[in-house]
Structure 1
Amino acid sequence: MDMENADPLGNGLDQFPDQVTSATAVVDAGGIVTGWSSAAQRLLGYPYEDVVGRPAARLLGGNADAVVRFSAVLEGRGGPTPLRHQDGHHMDAELRAYASLDREGNAQWLIVATSPQQPRPHREPRPHEDKATTEEAFAQSDLPVMIYDAELRALRGSAGATRALGLTEEQIRGRRVTDILPPHICTTVEEGMRRVFETGEPERFDVHGRPRRGAHDRYWAVSVSPLRNPAGQVRHVQLIALDVTQQHQARERLVLLNDVSAQVGSTLDVMRTAQEMADVAVGRLADFISIDLLDGLFRGVEPRPSATGSVALRRAAQRSVLPGTPEAVIRPGEVDYYPESTPPARCLDTGRSSLHRTLDEAIESWQVADPARAAKVRDFGMHSIMVIPLRARGITLGVAVLVRHRRRDSFDEDDLLLAEEIAARTAVAVDNARRFTRERTTALALQRSLLPQRLAAQEAAEVAYRYLPARSRAGLGGDWFDVIPLSGARVALVVGDVVGHGLRASATMGRLRTAVRTLADVDLPPEELLVHLDDLITHLRAEEEVATGPELEIVTDLIATCLYLVYDPVSRRCAAAGAGHPPPAVVTPDGKAEFIDLPVGPPLGVGGLPFEAVEWEVPRGSLLVLYTDGLVEVPEHDVGRGMALLRRRLEHPAHSLEATCDDLVQSLLPAQPSDDVALLIARTRALGAGQVATWDVPSDPAAVADARDKVARRLADWGLHEVVFTTELVVSELVTNAIRYGTPPVQLRLIRDTALICEVSDGSSTAPHMRRARMFDEGGRGLLLVAQFAERWGTRHRTGGKSIWAEIGLQDEWS
């Protein structure tokens, strides 16, 4: 029931009748009864069905005076009126009428009757003092409360509302939200109030903005609830706005710190880590940020700031809310010098942060000392600055400068605490990156020092290689390679991989490479060489088990893989053995690529199983491709898939070995390989029949002279007259020793390569040893002479005997 005199603020509602206990009737504009209460039935005796729908006049006393009095009641003048009871007697009752509208908007009256014999039901009126107190409480409430009518115009406003809006209640009354608040706030608020009028359900939403010109940005939690009349209809809405700016800022700070923890330090790169801090802070805490670090950090060394004078810092990162970061005076990677009196220099010296306005004496003196920065301050209207040290583990690594020029709010102490926490977390990540850089640089320097600095000269094959250190946090691995010239113009190609990462793997790799070169010098077959390497790994493990302590944290599971391949350019044959290593690939001159089916040998360090070698012949100009598993096993695919891709790329090699290496690296590896990669490619050469001379020598001392004559004639044919004497001397001594101390058959071979190689083979496995002859000894001087005249000499064991060889330089140093 829509009562006109119902006041949503409570004015006069204490006069309204209680519809439950009062005798009431509803009469429409035509005088027809449309409502009848149970109290009215008790008062006059008429049931509901006998009254509703009939004229109200039949309830009156039946005389003209009763009709006049009833009309006066409808006009608002109450008083005693005669009524007719159901049993026929007449009674006087005091009537009061309350005008209202029905659902269609037509006029109607609520008639309240009170019998003179019964006390008239009414609510005790509240004391005047209570009404005044209630009104004062609303008017003086610090909580912003507004009352709006159906046209969304303000009816009332509390003291908190007038203070927030900067207007008096008289200025607010009758105005809509659009007349007071910014447009984006108005739209949200008015749409919410309309929905409350339509649905009758309260709503809550958040708004952000300035409530009046010149005010700071605020965050508000707005509640809009309906105000109903006694009939339950929504006549007005109440709007309450809670200032939740501090709670919002606290949440934002927590979110920002969480983002710093999640996003800063994702890589172990100093500049990238600093840039991540700038990316997170700009737009949420500052309008511009620059991060400068001590120059030594970029090389991984311990930072040592200068105690006096200007401070040199390298710009690690910068970011702005403006495109192109126009506030910066230098670019990332460049060095800037801060005078000793400036806030960044003092911050670096003391390790304490500072908060400034541009009018501060410290900032003004900085601008005097640095005109370029002073111009930026003026051009962009910078008004608030924080200087924060980046400290980790007791060391100041650099300085972050945060600036506001687009936000009107200046930095406060809470912002300073937040910036210090962000800088502290970033500093730890930067220091981790610095330590990683130092360790990686050390390991890389060690590893590169242990790898071949340049490949040894040899003519058996043209060689190209690539070594790529891992880019993962695990550090460098133990991949290695080598090219070792052997006797008889042969060459050994080696690749290996020590399981694990870090300095230990690099050091173990260096020891294995040295062992391989030592074993190769004694011309061990591939399978025997791997046996000795396996023994070496076992000894190394035993040494580390003895040296291991809690403070060393050394893991003793030393395991390595290795592939050892020997190529002979005279016979064009290869011999190879592997220890847990991927097989080599061979690419013939016609473009066919295939992997050699090597017997699967155990990795070095496992022990207990033998190694087997295979031999095969390759055409001149074939490619021998040796590699570590880092080339074919990447996160994107497994080893099988990687080897298939490698074979496919090798079937279309580039025009040169260097280009082939580049193609394999680019096509098979990601931009940041997670494991070390060693790649070795050799294009085989062959020595023609004109470069090799072989003679069988009878087991007769008289054959020595004939051997010298044959060698002299062949050297003359080759045009090597300058080494004839030396070669005859060497051949004479080697053949004499083979006949005297060896067993048939004896064979002499000359190989013309970068050096002249003399080989004498016999059927005995006993190797000669050089010794110093005494004054009257008849023997013991032969090998000493050979060692003096030859550049290198040695013994090579083979199936069914041995070979003694000597290399003679083609440029005679005594000529």
Structure 2
Amino acid sequence: MNAWSEAETVDLRGPLDVTSAATVLLDSESVVIGWSEAAEDLFGYEPREILGRPLETLIVGRTAQVQPFIELLDRPVSAACRSEASVARHRDGHRIELATTICSLAGPDGAPQIMVAAPLEPLRSWEAHQAMLRGLATQSPIGLGIYDTDLRLTWINAKYQSEIDRKFSEYAGKRVNELYDGGEVISEGHPPRLEDVMQSVIDTGEPVFGLLYEARPPADPEHDHVWSCAYYRLTDADGHVIGVCEDALDITERYRAQQRLALTVRAGVRIGTTLDMITTCREIAEVAIPAFADSVAVDLVEGVLEGEEPRLHGETQSLIRVVERFGTPYAHAGSEDAPSAGPYPVEYETGSPQMTSLVSRKAVTLDGGRRAETDEGEETGAHSTLAVPLRARGTTMGLVTFLRSDNPAPFENEELALANELATRTALSIDNARRYTRERASALTLQRNLLPRGLPEQSAVDVAHRYLPSDIGLGVGGDWFDVIALSGTRVGMVVGDVVGHGVNAAATMGRLRTTVRALARLDLSPDELLSRLDDLVLQGAEDQEAGAVPATDEGLGVACLYAVYDPVSRKCTAARAGHPPAASVDPEGNFKLLDIPPGPPLGVGGLPFESMEIELPEGSLLALFTGGLVQDRDRDIDTGVAKLKGVLTDRESTLEELCDRALSELQPDGPATDDAALLLARTHELGADQVIGWELDAEPSSVSRARTLVLDQLAEWDLDELGFSTELVVSELVTNAVRHAVGPVYLRLIRDRSLHCEVSDKGHTSPNLRHSATDDEGGRGLFIVAQMVQRWGTRYTPTGKTIWTEQALP
């Protein structure tokens, strides 16, 4: 309280208190007639030196310092008193700035007066303190309250009273839980009841700062408010505890803004963690409940889940409910037990917030409207609805509906920006997942078309295979395998590993697999096949450098192993390019890695490729596999091969069972860091009654002998129906060999799934099929042969060549 501001009384407390200020008694002529010890200390005069002297001896003028304060002092305190800011002269001559109050003792003029004086600076400081206290009581934005030791309210300031909005006498003496409805401490590390916090402050004397308290004040019982509170113990001059003081600042708006910001940050971390659309929709519900909404429903435009481009059709749009969540959030949106009501079709009426949001492409709110219902028809109790479209890259893919039921506050304008942010993040993630789904479908289609759908029927080997891509979501990798039927009942087997994953790797794998099949049909040896395949890969790399084809690295560094097994000789010939060797298990269960000479990966160049040849007993198991099956980051290849050995040496299991066991032993946790391919082949031998051969001299008479031998053998095999065509084929091929080649001619017949006829000689010149002119005397024989058989071709050997044909059995 300002000592100069009261019109009726004089407040002499503080520096001007008569018990501490300098006091001078004056007569009616302003002559000093009384002198206090404090006056002696202030002015330096002893009583004998100043008594009887006029006041002007002390007061020599008025001060010019701090004009607003002077004006304050110049106002009369009462009719009998006046206050001034004066300049006095000390006995030693220095000047003193004073605040003085002079009052008449009796009232009428001519009566004695009393003057109270104090230095101006301490008074000014005291006045500032008084102003501060007055401001805390009347103008401070911080609510102040004093509770006694029983935690009953004894005093409040004006801010506190505005929150209570009643006369102080109506609630004085009440405890805090009687003043606020449903109040709770929301700061971690403190008791939930505010009274417990205050009691702890009284008991321990430790102050509490920055405590957050949420409640509904009596002045606004419909909305929750948040205060930042401080509590400290109050003691009297003797140190006795008299209560606890509360400082409370309403930070509701700031707290809500911080909560919205925290929710935005959490959304950035939690939404879009996978490329699964349903999981993404669950994640926005997880983020929004219960901090933003009490219930969340997510609907997508029909076709989005299948990866299709969403198309809106006005107010007749078909929507699919993907997620519907009421109550508390789930622990993890991607877990199997995460609840989800969808997907199922939903319809909204024209004019509903949802349909209005879809049509306008804006967020739409509805307060106090029809209460929402679950799909079982039960009311959710929602009183406020906020529908926000899910838009990304200019396309609307659906909408998300936020509902409030437990939270009494409706959705406000400040929260629309947050809702739009949540919807935008979700929409971008959904669109990414939709594009991924579309690409995945395309990649799976590509993979199905490129990998073998079925292996050819042949008698050389029984086969089983497995392929496990590392990208289990996309389902496409760069590993491949194939089994190729060759001439003479032989079979070619190949496994390969393309660097990388995805569509590009699958496309490269498809090109290489097709190329290997084409080269294998030429009956090339394994080392020559890999050499030609290497040339093609290098040529593709050169085309990329020249810009003739799009740049891609998948073709470089390809690993490949190619093996050919002949069931007649039981010999297996194999070569490899940067690939792990194949393994074999003989009928007795002895396991070994084949000593195939290593070659560089395709496209790298350097060392030539070499083949190795091994004779396999009938019933041997041949295993071709890629590096991803036996090696990963946590396991070297030797450990993987040892595990594979333990599986393959089981002679009691079928090939299919061995494949399954190999994957379960070597890939127990599913796909590893690299694709894995496994091809198992159980070898067979053609019996002596299926193969017969003759060596003929290179002379014309051998042609007639060859026809006779073939016809007799066909009769023995009950294949007389093929006699005419086979006789013609043998006659033409032996004639060409006798006429154009050197050395003996070897004729062989093989009866398997088809009839194979082979004529071998020492020459390296292959006959050419041509169309003879009408006046040509020859050149029609090979053309006739080609018309009478299913297939024919030339196979080169280190000592010559073999012309072969195949005919279907009757």
Structure 2 partner of 1:102: none
Q: Does 1:780 align with 2:785?
A: no
Distance 1:337 1:508 in 2: 46
Structure 2 partner of 1:717: 716
| SS at 1:689 equivalent | coil
Query: After superposition, what is the alpha-carbon deviation per residue over 1:29-51, rounded to whole angstroms, capped at 9, x for unaligned?
Result: xxxxxxxxxx9xx9xxxxxxxxx
Query: After superposition, what is the alpha-carbon deviation per residue over 1:643-676, rounded to whole angstroms, capped at 9, x for unaligned?
Result: 3333333334784333333333344334455544
Aligned positions, number: 694
Structure 2 partner of 1:264: 271
| SS at 1:732 equivalent | helix
Deviation at residue 553 of structure 1 after TM alignment: 6.4
Change over 3 Å in CA distance of 1:750–1:20 after alignment to 2: farther
Deviation at residue 760 of structure 1 after TM alignment: 1.2
Q: Does 1:485 align with 2:491?
A: no
Deviation at residue 700 of structure 1 after TM alignment: 2.6
Q: Does 1:204 align with 2:196?
A: no
Deviation at residue 801 of structure 1 after TM alignment: 1.2
Q: Does 1:318 align with 2:328?
A: no
| SS at 1:495 equivalent | strand
Confirm or deny: 8 A CA contact 2:356 2:364 kept in the other structure.
Answer: no
Query: After superposition, what is the alpha-carbon deviation per residue over 1:424-458, rounded to whole angstroms, capped at 9, x for unaligned?
Result: 11211111222222223223322322223332232
Deviation at residue 151 of structure 1 after TM alignment: 3.0
Change over 3 Å in CA distance of 1:458–1:128 after alignment to 2: closer
Confirm or deny: 8 A CA contact 1:475 1:501 kept in the other structure.
Answer: no
Q: Does 1:333 align with 2:339?
A: no
Map 1:440-451; keep pairs closer than 5 Å. 440-451=440-451
Q: Does 1:241 align with 2:248?
A: yes
Structure 1 vs Structure 2 CA RMSD: 3.8
Change over 3 Å in CA distance of 1:716–1:632 after alignment to 2: same
| SS at 2:362 equivalent | coil
Structure 2 partner of 1:432: 432
Amino acid in structure 2 at the alignment position of 1:479: D
Distance 2:509 2:258 in 1: 53
Deviation at residue 130 of structure 1 after TM alignment: 11
Query: After superposition, what is the alpha-carbon deviation per residue over 1:281-326, rounded to whole angstroms, capped at 9, x for unaligned?
Result: 222211221212223322323222224x52112233333325999x
Confirm or deny: 8 A CA contact 1:470 1:677 kept in the other structure.
Answer: yes
| SS at 1:602 equivalent | coil
Query: After superposition, what is the alpha-carbon deviation per residue over 1:116-166, rounded to whole angstroms, capped at 9, x for unaligned?
Result: xx9999999999999899668626655321112233322112233234345
Query: After superposition, what is the alpha-carbon deviation per residue over 1:493-526, rounded to whole angstroms, capped at 9, x for unaligned?
Result: 1122222334333332222222211211111000
Structure 2 partner of 1:537: 537
Deviation at residue 699 of structure 1 after TM alignment: 2.3
**Which range moved further: 797-806 or 284-293?**
284-293
The one of 611, 619, 624 equivalent to 1:626 is: 624
Amino acid in structure 2 at the alignment position of 1:569: P
Structure 2 partner of 1:582: 580
Structure 2 partner of 1:190: 195
| SS at 1:430 equivalent | helix
Confirm or deny: 8 A CA contact 1:476 1:675 kept in the other structure.
Answer: no
**Which range moved further: 568-577 or 639-648?**
639-648
Change over 3 Å in CA distance of 1:200–1:406 after alignment to 2: closer
| SS at 2:304 equivalent | helix
| SS at 1:303 equivalent | coil
Amino acid in structure 2 at the alignment position of 1:508: T
Confirm or deny: 8 A CA contact 2:285 2:329 kept in the other structure.
Answer: no
Map 1:19-168; keep pairs closer than 5 Å. 138=137, 141-165=140-164, 168=167
**Which range moved further: 514-523 or 146-155?**
146-155
Distance 2:757 2:478 in 1: 38
| SS at 1:439 equivalent | helix
Distance 2:232 2:171 in 1: 19
Deviation at residue 470 of structure 1 after TM alignment: 4.1
Confirm or deny: 8 A CA contact 1:208 1:217 kept in the other structure.
Answer: no
Confirm or deny: 8 A CA contact 2:695 2:747 kept in the other structure.
Answer: yes
Distance 1:769 1:333 in 2: 65
Change over 3 Å in CA distance of 1:173–1:426 after alignment to 2: same
Structure 2 partner of 1:94: none
Q: Does 1:748 align with 2:763?
A: no
Amino acid in structure 2 at the alignment position of 1:336: V
Deviation at residue 422 of structure 1 after TM alignment: 0.9
Query: After superposition, what is the alpha-carbon deviation per residue over 1:189-211, rounded to whole angstroms, capped at 9, x for unaligned?
Result: 33433443345443214243324
Structure 2 partner of 1:610: 608
Confirm or deny: 8 A CA contact 1:330 1:336 kept in the other structure.
Answer: no
Confirm or deny: 8 A CA contact 1:474 1:501 kept in the other structure.
Answer: no
Change over 3 Å in CA distance of 1:215–1:772 after alignment to 2: closer
Distance 2:672 2:209 in 1: 53
Confirm or deny: 8 A CA contact 1:271 1:317 kept in the other structure.
Answer: yes
Map 1:164-175; keep pairs closer than 5 Å. 164-165=163-164, 168-175=167-174
Distance 2:552 2:13 in 1: 88
Q: Gaps spanning 5+ residues in structure 2: where? A: 1-10, 23-37, 42-114, 186-190
| SS at 1:723 equivalent | helix
Q: Gaps spanning 5+ residues in structure 1: where? A: 1-10, 23-38, 43-117
Deviation at residue 168 of structure 1 after TM alignment: 3.6
Confirm or deny: 8 A CA contact 2:626 2:678 kept in the other structure.
Answer: yes
Confirm or deny: 8 A CA contact 1:586 1:622 kept in the other structure.
Answer: yes
Map 1:333-372; keep pairs closer than 5 Å. 333-359=343-369
Deviation at residue 351 of structure 1 after TM alignment: 1.8
Change over 3 Å in CA distance of 1:465–1:744 after alignment to 2: same
Change over 3 Å in CA distance of 1:187–1:413 after alignment to 2: closer
Distance 1:440 1:479 in 2: 17
TM-score by length of 2: 0.77
Structure 2 partner of 1:601: 599
Query: After superposition, what is the alpha-carbon deviation per residue over 1:241-292, rounded to whole angstroms, capped at 9, x for unaligned?
Result: 1222222222222222112211222222222222222222222211221212
Distance 1:649 1:433 in 2: 39
Structure 1 partner of 2:305: 298
Distance 1:556 1:490 in 2: 31
TM-score by length of 1: 0.77
Identity %: 42
**Which range moved further: 469-478 or 127-136?**
127-136
Deviation at residue 529 of structure 1 after TM alignment: 0.5
Confirm or deny: 8 A CA contact 1:260 1:277 kept in the other structure.
Answer: yes
Amino acid in structure 1 at the alignment position of 2:260: R
Amino acid in structure 2 at the alignment position of 1:259: R
Deviation at residue 538 of structure 1 after TM alignment: 1.1
Change over 3 Å in CA distance of 1:331–1:373 after alignment to 2: closer
Change over 3 Å in CA distance of 1:216–1:621 after alignment to 2: farther
Distance 2:565 2:307 in 1: 43
Deviation at residue 789 of structure 1 after TM alignment: 1.2
Deviation at residue 762 of structure 1 after TM alignment: 1.3
Distance 1:629 1:615 in 2: 22
